[in-house]
Amino acid sequence: MHTKSCPALLVSAPSSHSGKTTVTAALARYWTQQGKKVRVFKTGPDFLDPMLLEQASGAPVHQLDLWMMGEDNCRRRLAEAAQEADLILIEGVMGLYDGHTSSADIARLFAIPLLLVVDGSAMAQTFGALVYGLASYQPGLNVFGVVANRVNSAGHARYLQQSLPEGIHFCGYMPSNDSITLPERHLGLVQAAELPDLDQRLDLAAEQLASHGALLLPPASEFSYPISNKTWNDGLNGVTIAVARDAAFSFIYRDNLQLLQQMGAQLRFFSPISDQTMPEADALYLPGGYPELYLDELADNQSMLHAIRSHVQADKPTVAECGGMLYLLNGLTNKEGHRRDLLGVLPGEALMEPRLSGLGVLSASFPFGEVRGHTFHFSSCQIRAETTLEAQHPVHGQPEPVYQQGRLLASYVHWYLGDQPEACLAWFKP
């Protein structure tokens, strides 16, 4: 079995909002500036963090999620990255042990050293106790080091460093600084393309981390390809897929696009906000995003609405996920109570809610097999259409209906298609 060695770190924390993304981005930017080729992955079903990490590293960022992708697919992605990278960084999800499959599970399975990010703003020696607990709660983990975040002074940092258990490196600290804090909104971080000063923030974060500690790397880890050698068919040769991509529709897995291209499809990207019409295409992909933030722009673009409406009404393949599904409805009302008519090809209304309406990993059984994904939305819908099946949480949680009308497939689910050629054929082939 072909193996390749490469230094790697999985960046995790006790909880969300500890600073994982900022620290991962700072490390990616710093080591990239030193001339290293850095490949970054994001654990869990997230679209916003990868946008920032791509900007920091200058390279595409892919998911690494055991439940959604499977072990072999994760192993293949890591082995491919190790062939070209000088350093692999993996940003964890939530807290170290949180989730149906956790960051700890990935670190243990692939023998990847951990770098913990701990908010030290309101503690001193308890910092070490918390790190000790995270490192020893479950066996089989290698906690290489820790970065202290939101530190008040150099003296404060010394207290935190001196409290660490033996064998765990202090890999620096990030001071409290609003200039490097990444802004957020209701679905998470603000999109990278919407931050005109993002490069300055990333440069400053890298500089702050480099000037407040030793940027240590662990010994190289070994990455090997899975025993199974999965290949993709070329069943989408000659098929053109129009993919919505702009500030309103940007939540899509890179793996999905990569597999469609590997199967022979030609992808043509367009903006429902600013383009006058969609490209000529055999199929249409409307991913999730923030249609509620661009409601007037989408509703006012009548020529685009007409073009997409004509495509769907001609019964051409159309896949709509979350925000893409809202775009298909008769209308959407934002949180200020402002409503606009939209496509009207899926009968129903959507309303933005003040709190989270759906969250969790999901799977659905189609005639060709199971497809997995996740849901995360602040809207509710009243849709007057037949529900063909439901996407279910593996343990608990609210199921999400899946609507199929002719060649239209719509749901709140963000589907992971990175190893699902059967789904790609069923949903996109004319």
Domain-wise residue ranges, the chain: 3-224, 240-428
Output the pLDDT for position 186: 54
Region 99-112: what's the mean pLDDT?
94
Rg of the chain in Å (alpha carbons)? 22
| CA 129 – CA 163 distance, rounded (Å) | 8
Positions marked active-site? 322
Output the pLDDT for position 201: 87
| CA 347 – CA 401 distance, rounded (Å) | 14
Residue 37's Cβ-count burial label (10 Å; 0-12, 13-18, 19+) is middle
Region 52-67: what's the mean pLDDT?
93
Residue 13 · residue 96 · CB < 8 Å: yes
Name the pairing type of β-strands 221-224 and 3-6.
antiparallel
Q: Tokens 């407040």 — which residue? A: 212
Side chain identity, residue 321: E
pLDDT of residue 391 exceeding 70, the answer is yes
Per-position DSSP letters for 344-395, written without gaps between them: -SEEEEEEE-SS--EEEEEEEEETTEEEEEEEEESEEEEE-S-EEEEEB-SS
* pTM: predicted TM-score of the whole model, two decimal places: 0.91
Name the token pair of 29. Answer: 């930017």
Output the pLDDT for position 257: 97
* CA distance to 293, 304, 315, per residue, from 283 (Å): 26, 15, 10
Name the pairing type of β-strands 114-119 and 143-151.
parallel
pLDDT of residue 189 exceeding 60, the answer is no
The DSSP symbol for 102 reads: -
CATH 3.40.50.880 fits domain 240-428: yes
Region 144-154: what's the mean pLDDT?
93
pLDDT band at 178 (very low <50, low <70, confident <90, very high): low
Region 248-275: what's the mean pLDDT?
96
| CA 376 – CA 311 distance, rounded (Å) | 27
Output the pLDDT for position 323: 96
Name the token pair of 335. Answer: 């949180």
pLDDT of residue 96 exceeding 80, the answer is yes
Name the token pair of 176. Answer: 């409290």
Output the pLDDT for position 61: 95
Region 322-332: what's the mean pLDDT?
97
Output the pLDDT for position 227: 79
Output the pLDDT for position 214: 67
In sequence order, the 6+-apart residues with CB closer than 8 A to the CB of 396 are none
Q: Which CATH number fits domain 3-224: 3.30.70.920, 3.10.450.230, 3.40.50.300, 1.10.760.10?
A: 3.40.50.300
Output the pLDDT for position 191: 65
pLDDT more than 70, % of the chain:
94
pLDDT band at 193 (very low <50, low <70, confident <90, very high): low
Residue 405: how many other CB atoms lie within 10 Å: 17
Query: Do 3-224 and 240-428 have matching folds?
Result: yes
Output the pLDDT for position 276: 96
| CA 9 – CA 15 distance, rounded (Å) | 18
Q: Tokens 């899975």 — which residue? A: 226
Output the pLDDT for position 192: 54
- At how many degrees (to 10) do helices 421-428 and 254-262 cross? 80
SS3 59: coil
Which is more confident, 197 or 413? 413
pLDDT of residue 140 exceeding 80, the answer is yes
Cα 350 to chain centroid distance, Å, stands at: 24
| CA 122 – CA 60 distance, rounded (Å) | 36
Report for 49-53, 163-167, 359-363: range of highest mean pLDDT? 163-167
Per-position DSSP letters for 61-91, written without gaps between them: -EEE-HHHH-HHHHHHHHHHHHHH-SEEEEE
Output the pLDDT for position 229: 67
Output the pLDDT for position 100: 79
Range in 55-69, 75-89, 153-167, 219-233 the model is least confident about: 219-233
pLDDT band at 362 (very low <50, low <70, confident <90, very high): very high
pLDDT of residue 246 exceeding 80, the answer is yes
The chain-wide mean pLDDT, for the chain, equals 91
23, HSE (Cβ side, Cα atoms, 13 Å): 33
Residue 16 · residue 27 · CB < 8 Å: no
SS3 255: helix
Output the pLDDT for position 92: 96
Name the token pair of 319. Answer: 């896949």
Which is more confident, 354 or 173? 173
Region 381-386: what's the mean pLDDT?
89
Side chain identity, residue 59: A
| CA 187 – CA 236 distance, rounded (Å) | 33
- At how many degrees (to 10) do helices 198-211 and 20-33 cross? 80
212, HSE (Cβ side, Cα atoms, 13 Å): 29
| CA 185 – CA 188 distance, rounded (Å) | 5
Output the pLDDT for position 410: 97
pLDDT of residue 115 exceeding 80, the answer is yes
Side chain identity, residue 121: S
pLDDT of residue 255 exceeding 90, the answer is yes
Name the token pair of 402. Answer: 């899946």
| CA 120 – CA 117 distance, rounded (Å) | 9
